[in-house]
Each structure stands twice: as structure tokens, then as C-alpha cells.
Amino acid sequence: MGEEEAAAARRAILSGWVTQGPEVAAFEREFAASVGARHACAVSSCTAALHVALLAVGIAPGDEVVTVSHSFIATANAVRYAGAHPVFIDIEPETLNMDPRLVAAALSSRTRAILCVHQLGMPCDVGVLAAIARGRGVPLIEDAACAAGSQIRASGGWEPIGRPHGDIACFSFHPRKLLSTGDGGMLTTKDAELDARFRLLRHHGMSVPDTVRHASTTVVTESYPSLGFNYRMSDIQAAVGREQLKRLPAIVAKRRELAGRYTEALRHVPGVTTPREPEWARTNWQSYVVRLRDGLDQTRVMQQMLDEGIATRRGVMNAHREPAYPEGTWRTTSEGLEHSEEAQDATIVLPLYHELTCQDQDRVIESLSRACGGSGIA
């Protein structure tokens, strides 16, 4: 973030609106246009967006939602906020995304939704998943927390994630993601009725938004037709988001260039497998995750790199391995979650940010190569 974001926050503060108002409405219009969505509804986080999405499609206690364990814990948590049980299916090792071939075995008479994740920005196979969901008559919700700026090939051309290709897509604007409002989230959909439900749920279930009441020349009395939440985004955050949205294409382009450099250089490093981008996907490379060969200890490699001044992160977590997920709160299929667990234990996230210089990137490549037992000359 820079001067533009600071000036935008100042503008919102001095406008007198501060909370959800015209900046939020403008950010929603601009975000919707950028992903080609008919409707976009801003909320306080992607976790809130996922909760709202699940409630809007009618998820209720006792229902099952087919999803992945191999994700940030908020994905599975949102299912439980709605009183439902996550049914975890395994991932494809190369993309870290839900394996569509495993969905059929996870469906039961209690399945009410499929919640897929575009993990770390890498598009999952939403075309195939949407067809499965349609065949089953359940909605497909996309956890697109990391996927602002990612694209997928659909109906012959490249389309941004978020159109959406399922029924609802949920984005995060946490600082960890490419586009940030400090904290924040967005729901996109083609369905006007769903969008109306999002707007009720995010604002205490209140029938009249503040903007409408403020603009009215007659006295307006609101009602509360459903149980809602305070999941609003503030105008200060939205003003910052509008500036961030302008930067997104350049940030994605730079990351794709740097990721390409990693992939090219790391091809020659034994013991390291680079991530695969399917030919129908263009990831924003929110994170660049490599897999270490069997026998290479993840923590040892990370420590050796840290000793050389290079910070890495372990791969994506698995919700089902956490104490917050005791038996009875979730189930899986007979295929189990072997690839999910392997990915957590054998992958590391390399430094990648749009200001990364080629020189620093070469240091990372050399350090990783040394830590994996190579000469360090990639």
C-alpha cells in the first residue's frame, strides 16, 4: 500500500460516512466489473463471506457440506458455524486442489452443498465441479479467498475467478492476499435473490440499509425479517480496496513473471518438484509452493534456509489434524486424506512478492538447492 491508499482512507474519514456507505457501494460495483460478476457484496472478511454464503443457500444444522481439509481452517470452520458437518475429500497432489473424481463417493442424502477452494490462488476445476453439483441439485460455493486476479478458461476464453463459475464465490482481503483492505471480504453471484440475502445477513438482518434511510425524505422504519450478523465492511476499508483493485493487474503480471523464473530454475534442482498450473488455469501465484523429495525433512530444509536469511513457510494446513476437529465433527470417504497430509508435510512456500528482485530470487533458488543437498548452483 502507498500514498494512494492513504489518501483514499483520508477521503473516507473526512466524508463523514466512515461505516458501510457509498465507498462500499462503489467498491462493490468496481469489483463486480473486474471479475465479470452481476452482483458483489462486501463483508468484513472471507470467513464472514463463507458463513453468509452457506446460510444464504440454506445450510442448516445436521446438513453435510463436501469440502477439503487441506485449506486454511476458516473453510471448514464456516461449515460448522452453520451447524453442518464438513465431509473432507482428498486433493490432487500437483495443484493442491479438491480432486473432482472423489466427490461422488462423498455425497450422501444429507449433502446440501459443495464448497471448493482455489487453493493459494490456483484455480480448481470449477467446470467439472459445477456439473457434478448441478447433477446432484446442490449449490457450488467457491472459496476464492486467495484467487483475486486468477483466471480460468471457460466457454473458449479466459475468465476471472469470481464470475462466478459456481453459484457464489467468496474473496478475502486479508493482508496475506494479493488485494487487501486490512481485513475484508466479498461475495459474488449471478443470482439477485442470493445477493439480497447476503445484504440482509451482513447487516443484522435489517430490511433497510443506512444509505437508503439517509437519502429518504420521508421517515423510514426498518424491520428485521431474519437473524443477521454484523459482517459489514467500512467505507474506510472500501476506499483502500478501490485503490488496491487498480494495482491488481500489475501485481499479478509481476508475480507470474517471477513464478515463471522459479519454475525454470528449479527444474534443474534435484529433490524439488515445482507446482503445476493446468493448461486451463492462470493462477495469480499468491503463493509458490514446492514439494520436497521423500527423505528431505521439511523443518530441516526451512531451518537451513532461515540460517541463510531466507524465510519460508510450511505448506497448507489440514483442518482435520487440529484439536478443534475432534472425531464426530467431520467425516471423510474410504479414500482418506493421504495426499492432503503428505502435502502439508512435504511442501514449503518460497518467498514471492511483486517487489522481489531477480537477485534476491536467485539467492532463494541457490539456498533451496543447497538445503536439498545440491551444489547450490542452479
Ligand X SMILES: *Cc1c(COP(=O)(O)O)cnc(C)c1O
Instruction: Tell me which DSSP letter residue 230 carries.
Output: B
Q: Which stretch binds ligand X (CB under 6 A): 19-27, 66-74, 125-133, 324-332?
A: 66-74
* Cα–Cα distance measured from residue 111 to residue 103, given in angstroms and rounded to the nearest whole number: 11
In the set 42, 107, 140, 146, which binds ligand X (CB under 6 A)? 146
Q: Is 76 in the site for ligand X (CB under 6 A)?
A: no
Distance (Å, rounded) from C-alpha 336 to C-alpha 158?
34
Which residues between 151 and 180 bind ligand X (CB under 6 A)? Answer: 172, 174, 176
Residue 117 binds to ligand X (criterion: CB under 6 A): yes
Partners of 189 in the beta sheet?
39, 168
Task: Say if strands 331-332 and 39-43 run parallel, antiparallel, or are unpaired.
Answer: unpaired
Nearer to ligand X, 45 or 188 (CB): 45
Between CA 240 and CA 225 the distance in angstroms is 32
Least distance to ligand X, CB of residue 147, Å: 9
Q: Which of 228, 218, 123, 120 is closest to 172 using CA atoms? A: 120
Work out whether 70 is an interface residue with ligand X (CB under 6 A). no
Residues listed for the chain: 378
Residue of 69, 71, 95, 344 interacting with ligand X (CB under 6 A):
71
What are the two backbone dihedrals, phi and then psi, of residue 272, each rounded to the nearest 5 degrees? -120, 130
Residue 69 binding ligand X, by CB under 6 A: no
The Cα–Cα gap between 15 and 216 comes to 19
| Smallest separation (angstroms) from ligand X to the CB of 150 | 12
**CB distance 20 to 236 below 8 Å:** no
- Give the nearer residue to ligand X in terms of CB position, either 134 or 176: 176
Using CB under 6 A, which of 5, 64, 125, 143 touches ligand X?
143
In angstroms, rounded to a whole number, what is the distance separating the alpha carbons of residues 103 and 83?
A: 21
Which of residues 83 and 175 has its CB atom nearest to ligand X in the complex? 175
Binding region for ligand X (CB under 6 A) out of 42-50, 190-198, 224-232, 269-277: 42-50
Q: Does 45 bind ligand X (CB under 6 A)?
A: yes
Q: Which is nearer to ligand X, 141 or 269 (CB)?
A: 141
Which residue stretches of the chain are H helix? 3-15, 22-35, 46-56, 74-81, 103-106, 126-136, 192-202, 210-215, 235-266, 298-307, 338-346, 358-371
Confirm or reject binding of residue 97 to ligand X (CB under 6 A). Answer: no
**Which residues in this chain contact ligand X in the complex, by CB under 6 A?**
45-47, 71-72, 74-75, 117, 143, 145-146, 172, 174, 176, 185
